[in-house]
Amino acid sequence: MKLNTLRFGEIDIEESRIFEFVLPIIGFDVLKKFVILEPNKDALFKWLQSVDDPALAFPVISVASLEFDYTIDLPDSTVDALGIKNVESVLVMNITSIPQDNPKGTTINLLAPLIFNVDNNKAGQIVLSGSGYDISYPMFKEIK
């Protein structure tokens, strides 16, 4: 299918790559369909593009690709809502905030990860209550 986007122009995507957010992204409850875009296969960041709103795309990252200790326990309600049957079908990504004038100030939302079930294309954002994780963890903490 053809998808018109503000950031990437018109792109072709396979409908099988569209995720339905059964647990909506906080603040974007009416937007249910998103696709993960990888403009550059070697890039650390990917984009979570809304299928419903061409202007909306979130920069996302898989913290698993970083050398970072990040463990989450999914609540049973999330496992049920996303139809998760095994851990191998779970993809965890986090929304990042990249300041245009200072990319070294990039932060990662560790408190509210995006959970994807790659087996059935259901997804959702959850808040890890009591985890101690930060909503704006500095990605380049060691860079002065």
Alpha helices in the chain (DSSP H): 76-82
Please name which of 106, 109, 105, 107 lies closest in space to residue 95, comparing C-alpha atoms. Answer: 109
Q: Which residue has the higher pLDDT, 104 or 39?
A: 104
Q: Residue 115 pLDDT more than 80?
A: yes
The pLDDT assigned to 87 comes to 93
The pLDDT assigned to 144 comes to 40
Q: Residue 142 pLDDT more than 80?
A: no
Please name which of 44, 31, 29, 36 lies closest in space to residue 8, comparing C-alpha atoms. Answer: 36
Q: Residue 104 pLDDT more than 60?
A: yes
**Which residue pairs, CB below 8 angstroms and at least 24 apart, start in 103-106?**
104/140, 104/143, 105/138, 105/140, 106/138, 106/139, 106/140
The pLDDT assigned to 143 comes to 45
CATH of domain 2-138: 2.30.290.10
